[in-house]
């Protein structure tokens, strides 16, 4: 079938500029060049390569950080970590509806397999979508991609393999569980498969005739929640479980309409979430989970709690959401500085760990290969290989 994919137009409306994002100017301190020359100055700015110094007389001048002493280089690294991060949080982020075009990749009614594709996603459905349902699902998928990318968490969503994020939408809970969806879950992101799965009933989809369309109860929370996990895949293994789930609950509760998330209305999302807990859950708004227990909880302990104690699981998700909302909008000056800095540190540690792992892999391969070489060079080994096969009558 002819493909007519048009890249979505990103929508960023307005900016909520965080206050107090200028560098902290400290009193002059003693510095030394690599050659041992001493001088007094304050740091005005540092970009990782060049530092702008202000002398006690008020004059300013750039200086290459590479020419400073090792101790002063280390000081600059720590100084940079403490500086406010420039955060421009959009009031609204998403995609323009008219520019989001989904293509039909394939349709196989006999196998209940319908494959659709957008700019960043390829999703398989067990039922044929009406054009209106396809438009809304495609729009919400793409809007979530843009949202996570725009938030001050330093996330650049990229598929683990191929050009598109993968998703499966299943026609009922039985099919969902058969495909590996956990019991007592409305949707799941399976990191081992880099796959988001959700049953139709979790997003409010119903069968009308031979096609599926939106129900009156069409909802986006589960979809956005699990898609957020998928967008953050590269960082999940480095984040504690409360951050993993709290960020997904945060995005899932942001007001979303016609492909646009209203970050400026995050408070409305909080109120709606609390109202939902009051009216639609058996225990109402839960008590916050003990932070002393929440902060060190492992993924295994989290999952065990979900299976064994539904009431405590509500506390886990609720408290994780409260923490993320607090760090995004209420902590200190309400500009999300500490949370942004937290994610920056996580990214730095992730890069260091990956670099170390690659180095370890290379060293391990070299060490184990030495066993097979047994003191021989690769050229000497090849010569012996040729000789051995020649004795078998095989010329190499």
CA-nearest of 234, 39, 60 to 153 is: 234
Whether the pLDDT of residue 5 is over 70: the answer is no
pLDDT band of 144, cuts 50, 70, 90: very high
Q: Please give the Cα distance from 115 to 101 (Å, whole number).
A: 14
Q: Determine contact, residues 172/200, Cβ cutoff 8 Å.
A: yes
Whether the pLDDT of residue 373 is over 90: the answer is no
Q: Are strands 165-170 and 113-117 parallel, antiparallel or unpaired?
A: unpaired
User: Given this model, what pLDDT does residue 11 score?
Assistant: 64
pLDDT band of 10, cuts 50, 70, 90: low
Residue with the bigger pLDDT between 195 and 350: it is 195
CA-nearest of 242, 233, 274, 253 to 339 is: 242
CA-nearest of 191, 168, 192, 163 to 178 is: 168
Whether the pLDDT of residue 395 is over 80: the answer is yes
Write down the pTM of the prediction.
0.77
- Token reading at 129: 């979508």
CA-nearest of 116, 114, 123, 118 to 142 is: 118
Domain map (residue ranges) of the chain: 29-77, 88-267, 346-391
Q: Determine contact, residues 134/213, Cβ cutoff 8 Å.
A: no
Whether the pLDDT of residue 291 is over 80: the answer is yes
Q: What are phi and psi of 31, to 5 degrees?
A: -125, 160
**Cβ neighbours of residue 310 under 8 Å, at least 6 residues apart?**
184
CA-nearest of 196, 214, 198 to 206 is: 214
* Cα→Cα distances 6→11, 41, 161, Å: 15, 54, 22
Whether the pLDDT of residue 295 is over 90: the answer is yes
Neighbours of 372 (CB within 10 A): 8
* Cα→Cα distances 120→168, 198, 288, Å: 14, 18, 36
User: Given this model, what pLDDT does residue 333 score?
Assistant: 86
* Cα→Cα distances 244→185, 262, 285, Å: 16, 21, 21
- What is the CATH number that goes with domain 88-267? 3.40.30
Same fold for the domain at 29-77 and the one at 88-267? no
Neighbours of 309 (CB within 10 A): 12
pLDDT band of 92, cuts 50, 70, 90: very high
**Cβ neighbours of residue 154 under 8 Å, at least 6 residues apart?**
340, 343, 344, 347
State the architecture of 29-77 in CATH terms. Answer: Roll (2.30)
Q: Please give the Cα distance from 342 to 328 (Å, whole number).
A: 11
């Amino acid at each position: 079938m002819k493909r007519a994919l048009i890249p979505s137009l990103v929508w960023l409306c307005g900016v909520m500029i965080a206050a107090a994002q200028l560098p902290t100017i400290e009193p002059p301190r003693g510095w030394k060049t690599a050659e041992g020359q001493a001088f007094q100055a304050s740091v005005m700015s540092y970009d990782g390569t060049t530092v702008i110094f202000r002398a006690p007389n008020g004059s300013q001048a750039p200086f290459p950080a590479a020419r400073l002493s090792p101790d002063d280089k280390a000081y600059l690294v720590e100084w940079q970590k403490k500086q406010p991060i420039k955060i421009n949080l959009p009031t609204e982020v998403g995609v323009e509806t008219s520019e989001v075009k989904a293509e039909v990749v394939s349709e196989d009614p006999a196998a209940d397999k319908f494959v659709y594709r957008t700019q960043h996603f390829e999703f398989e459905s067990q039922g044929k979508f009406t054009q209106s349902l396809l438009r809304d699902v495609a729009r919400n998928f793409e809007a979530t991609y843009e949202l996570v990318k725009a938030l001050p968490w330093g996330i650049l969503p990229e598929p683990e393999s191929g050009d598109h994020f993968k998703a499966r939408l299943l026609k009922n809970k039985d099919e969902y569980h058969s495909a590996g969806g956990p019991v007592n879950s409305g949707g799941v992101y399976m990191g081992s498969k880099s796959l988001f799965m959700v049953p139709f009933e979790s997003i409010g989809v119903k069968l009308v005739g031979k096609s599926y369309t939106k129900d009156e109860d069409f909802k986006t929370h589960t979809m956005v929640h699990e898609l957020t996990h998928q967008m953050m895949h590269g960082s999940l293994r480095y984040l504690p479980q409360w951050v993993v789930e709290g960020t997904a609950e945060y995005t899932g509760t942001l007001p979303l309409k016609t492909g646009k998330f209203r970050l400026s209305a995050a408070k409305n999302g909080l109120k709606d979430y609390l109202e939902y807990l009051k009216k639609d859950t058996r225990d109402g708004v839960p008590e916050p989970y003990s932070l002393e227990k929440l902060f060190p909880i492992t993924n295994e302990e989290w999952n065990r709690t979900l299976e064994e104690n539904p009431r405590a699981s509500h506390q886990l998700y609720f408290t994780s959401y409260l923490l993320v909302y607090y760090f995004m909008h209420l902590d200190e000056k309400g500009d999300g500085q500490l949370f942004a800095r937290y994610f920056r540190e996580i990214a730095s540690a992730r890069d260091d760990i990956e670099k170390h792992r690659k180095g370890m892999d290379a060293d391990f391969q070299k060490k184990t290969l030495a066993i097979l070489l047994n003191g021989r060079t690769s050229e000497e080994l090849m010569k012996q290989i040729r000789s051995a096969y020649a004795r078998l009558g095989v010329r190499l």
